[in-house]
Amino acid sequence: MQTFRHSHSLGQNFLTDKNLLAAIVADSGVTNGDTVIEVGAGMGALTRPLAESGARVIAFEIDERLKEYLEPLKTEYACLDLIFGDFMKADINEVTGGARYKAVANLPYYITTPVLFRFLEDPLCDGVTVMVQKEVAERITAPAGGKDYGALSVAAQMCGKPCITRIVGRNLFTPPPNVDSAVVNIRLSAERPDESVRRVVRAAFSMRRKTLVNCLTNAGYAKDKVLSALSALALDPAVRGERLTPMQFVSLSKLL
């Protein structure tokens, strides 16, 4: 095999510490018979322990240069499906055959947020365990009212119980990134917010310096109805979106 040149644009920072990789699989709760989706398989460092768990692993990798590292794993693990392509363009229901699944991945930094939203919004996804930038992990778990609290925080906390299971130093990656990382586990609940709730949340954080009333009216909600809803929830009409808890967003959506 030729020396592999890591792609900065694809966020290729590979993890090789076997103890840490085993710990990520343990954090995910993946067991024999589960279906798992991995995004950004890289050279297969996490793919291998996932497959060794006995789970059916569907591993996505967009960089076809990595075929020579990943395809030999298929001869070792009959439970492994490799898909070389863009996960964001894939039909999850089609590739899983409609099965429930867990998401486990060392996510490339450049697509972390859209991938997370896709899993959170998919009713077939039972849990998410991902390696992300430490600052993203802090956003996911941030409480209402803080500077890190935003649309991703609300989405994750409305859908389940996110927690940071471990901090991972940049020195454990090849090549080392400029920031530390963290493993986040989100155990997803059976009931998820629908599109009406998600629309309110997106609008609330569309202009962080604006009041919630301004954000929602700018998104097309009638101002008098917004003010009435805030009053019913005993919220100040000058409140900003970052002050509302996930459950308050659900209540607000119902009133609107």
CATH of the domain at 95: 3.40.50.150
Number of domains in the chain: 2
Residues in the chain, overall count = 256
pLDDT of residue 185: 98
Read off φ and ψ for residue 28, nearest 5 degrees: -75, -20
pLDDT of residue 191: 87
Angle 59-28-104 from CA coordinates, rounded to 5°: 25
Mean pLDDT (10-residue bins), the chain, 256 residues: 53 76 95 97 95 97 93 95 97 97 93 96 96 96 94 96 94 83 95 94 93 97 97 97 96 96
Structure tokens belonging to residue 9: 């644009």
Domain extent for 161: 14-188
Say if residue 177 is in the same domain as residue 61.
yes
Q: Which of 154, 171, 188 is the last residue of a domain?
A: 188
Structure tokens belonging to residue 194: 């629908």
Say if residue 202 is in the same domain as residue 147.
no
- Measured CA to CA in angstroms, residue 136 lies from 125, 179, 247 at distances of 20, 11, 22
Say if residue 167 is in the same domain as residue 218.
no
Q: Which of 151, 168, 188 is the last residue of a domain?
A: 188
Asked whether residue 226 is domain-assigned, the answer is yes
Say if residue 171 is in the same domain as residue 70.
yes
Structure tokens belonging to residue 165: 């299971």
Asked whether residue 172 is domain-assigned, the answer is yes
Domain with 234 in it: what CATH number?
A: 1.10.8.100
Asked whether residue 140 is domain-assigned, the answer is yes
pLDDT of residue 172: 84
pLDDT of residue 77: 96
Asked whether residue 56 is domain-assigned, the answer is yes
pLDDT of residue 177: 80
Q: Which of 162, 188, 214 is the last residue of a domain?
A: 188
